[in-house]
Amino acid sequence: MALIVQKFGGTSVADTEKILAASRKAVRAHQEGNQVVVVVSAMGKNTDLLIKLAAEIGEHPPAREMDMLLSTGEQVSVALMAMAIDSLGEQAVSLTGAQIGIRTDSTHTKARIISISTERIQQLLDEGNIVIAAGFQGIDEDYNITTLGRGGSDTTAVALAAVLGANVCEIYTDVDGVYTTDPRKLAEARRVSQISCDEMLELASLGAGVMHSRSIEFAKKFSVPIHVRSSFTDLPGTMIVAEPESPNMAVGGAAITMNEARITVLGVPDVPGASFEIFSRIAEQNISVDMIVQNVGDEGHADISFTVPRDELQPTLDAVASASQSLGALDVTHDENVAKVSAVGLGMAQQTGVADRMFRGLSEAGINIQMITTSEIKISVLVSRPEAQTALRVIHEVFSLHQEPTDRPTFPATVSPEPRDPVDVVARLQGVGMEELTIDQITLDESQARVSIHNVPDAPGVAAKVFEDVAAAGIFVDMIVQSYGRDGLADLSFTVPKPTLQNSQQVADKLTSDFQCGPVTSSPDVCKLSVSGIGLRSHTGVAIRMFRSLAAADINIEMVNTSEVRVNVVVDGSKGLLALKCLQTAFEDVLR
Ligand code: ADP
Ligand code: ASP
Ligand code: MG
């Protein structure tokens, strides 16, 4: 007998009629011979209303009481859903997070799941019940109610699907699947029939609110197939599985994070440990940092820029102030009027000339790129907030995301016919929290060289021209970073395969005469160290651990990039093996 987890989001249970409609879907699946677990969110905008009520009482409500309050939203929906199913003549039992035994840590309002007991649910299912589980909530070891963070019901659903060994986790929502970008932000967005877990993970953390990003971490860790589909029709939606929609597309989706803030620490002494000093102070505040860019040291000093969510700007500035003082940095600047726009695609890891197309499109739209970072499967640019919407449209158009790929698979993609073995999941966890950081690989890549073009004009079209020329020379670029400009000038650094260094340098030299800028510097011998796993960005401590261990061994970091599944750093070529050993020791306890 197959087991299906169905999750209904807020709009899908916004009123009693919608609750009845949702319960009909559950009943139908049950009558078709499946065991069914339903996870529900709070009705409509109920969670927002509860937050508003708390705000009316005081500015800083105790986090524990906040969770006590927020969890009531889901408790209302599970009871109504169970009544609805009962009214349709089927047996149903509703359960809160605590009653299920969803154990979490004690980080109120953003708790992580440690373990889930399956006995009670399994027994109720075996007795013929449809089990209705409250999303978004759990209980800590002292029986305090916790919540998982906004949008967390997706995470409850996929986590339950993982531990129960469900065949599929169906996410019923107000859109009919995953789109190439948020259809509310761009009318041209296209529903995809299938998207890879890796792409969805990046998109979710870069602003695609359709899925809670931690739910995709579960899907990836425990191979849970997810089907995102409309609550209001019976049409198939989008499968989130291992493979992308098309193996040949460089870019599969785009996302926008409107509320970003940029911070730059100017004139940081370019010595090992500087990044560690800054980012460890921020991590202590549990703030996750993105787009870390350091310009390659100029006269012993570097500027370090990065972005944080806008509502975390003030605590970040406070943390940075103390770090910059102890480092003797010159100044700290910030900008709240920025947005991050990203293109994501598994295909870009194999193709040349992806970044330059994106940069050219932005330049033709007159958009200045303030910062660039890339990882294996994403390119993020920072632009001024008023230009972000146009930037998203441009990226969507440049990569023809509105067009269906001709080689897309026919729906449905792989849903395992047999229930997966939940025992395997439990065995793999063995005393480790379900959302615990998992590092599966630490690698050293000695095949690359670095090229930096200093003092390029911080104006539209420059990055486009640089990477067009590099691509035209047939050179495959791996990492790209563009620092935040100072006095109208920025630094552009990138890594290329060692044998193409001379060629790359010639291209760069020619560009400096075109742009009247320079100098060009390069390291013929750099090493890229990569720490890969799951939960790297949500566990703010990963980059810090890397910085700390490298600083302790007196190893300077030349470039950094981060993604959901990997953090890469570039260091001097002679330090590769030493750096690898340092990282292996630093992550010994989480390497699985
Ligand atoms: P639910 O309440 O069902 O959890 P959410 O509001 O959390 O629903 O998520 C659905 C919304 O996500 C959609 O209405 C859509 O505007 C937004 N969204 C953002 N990015 C995407 C995307 N790439 N594809 C589909 N929807 C997206
Ligand atoms: N009700 C919670 C929220 O609005 C959880 C969820 O809907 O996923 O964030
Ligand atoms: Mg949601």
Sorted by where each begins, the domain ranges of the chain are: 254-402+440-586
Looking at every residue in the chain, the average pLDDT score rounds to 91
Cα–Cα distance between 167 and 169 in angstroms, integer? 7
Exposure b/e, 246-275, CB count within 10 A at least 16 = b: beebbbbbbbbbeebbbbbbbbbebebbbb
Q: 379 phi and psi, to 5 degrees? A: -125, 125
Degrees, nearest 5: CA angle 520-521-526: 140
Ligand closest to 13 (CA) is: 1
Q: What is each CA distance from 159 to 343, 398, 430, in whole angstroms?
A: 28, 36, 16
Cα–Cα distance between 421 and 123 in angstroms, integer? 17
CB distance 47 to ligand 1 below 6 Å:
no
Average pLDDT of the segment spanning 316-326: 92
Place of tokens 């349709």: 88
Nearest alpha-carbon partner for 159 in 234, 218, 242? 218
As beta bridge partners, residue 263 has: 306, 334
CB distance 44 to ligand 2 below 6 Å:
no
CB distance 11 to ligand 2 below 6 Å:
no
Confidence band, pLDDT 50/70/90 cuts, at residue 547: confident
At a CB cut-off of 8 Å and minimum separation 6, what does 583 contact? Answer: 442, 529, 531, 546, 549, 550
**Predicted pLDDT at 428:** 57
Single-letter amino acid, residue 321: A
Distance 389 CA to ligand 2 centre (A): 26
The conformation of residue 574, written as its DSSP 8-state character, comes to G
What is the tens place of the pLDDT at every residue in 334-367? 999 999 999 999 988 888 788 999 999 999 999 9
Which of ligand 1's atoms lies nearest the C-alpha of 8? 3
Residues within 5 A (CB) of ion ligand 3: 9, 151
Does the pLDDT value for residue 527 go beyond 60? Answer: yes
Does the pLDDT value for residue 298 go beyond 80? Answer: no
- Written as six digits, the tokens of 117 are 């007991």
CB distance 208 to ligand 1 below 6 Å:
yes
Which of ligand 1's atoms lies nearest the C-alpha of 154? 4
Q: Which helix (H) or strand (E) holds 236?
A: none
CB distance 42 to ligand 2 below 6 Å:
yes
- Written as six digits, the tokens of 118 are 């399956």
pLDDT over 70 percentage in the chain: 95
Does the pLDDT value for residue 31 go beyond 90? Answer: yes
25-29, 41-45, 494-498, 587-591: range with lowest mean pLDDT: 587-591
CB distance 345 to ligand 1 below 6 Å:
no
What is the tens place of the pLDDT at every residue in 98-140? 999 999 999 999 899 999 999 999 999 999 999 999 999 999 9
Nearest alpha-carbon partner for 438 in 301, 533, 343, 368? 533
**Predicted pLDDT at 414:** 45
**Predicted pLDDT at 252:** 94
CB distance 523 to ligand 2 below 6 Å:
no
User: How many CB atoms lie under 10 A from the CB of residue 69?
Assistant: 18
Q: Does domain 254-402+440-586 have CATH number 3.10.20.740?
A: no
Please tell me which of 215-224, 266-275, 418-427 the model is most confident about, judged by mean pLDDT.
215-224
Confidence band, pLDDT 50/70/90 cuts, at residue 310: very high
CB distance 210 to ligand 1 below 6 Å:
yes
- Testing ligand 2's pocket by substitution, the residue of 47, 70, 215, 216 carrying the most ligand atoms inside 8 A of its CB is 47
Distance 155 CA to ligand 1 centre (A): 15
CB distance 342 to ligand 1 below 6 Å:
no
Average pLDDT of the segment spanning 314-334: 91
Residue whose CA is closest, atom 5 of ligand 2?
Answer: 151
**Predicted pLDDT at 296:** 61
- Testing ligand 2's pocket by substitution, the residue of 78, 150, 210, 214 carrying the most ligand atoms inside 8 A of its CB is 150
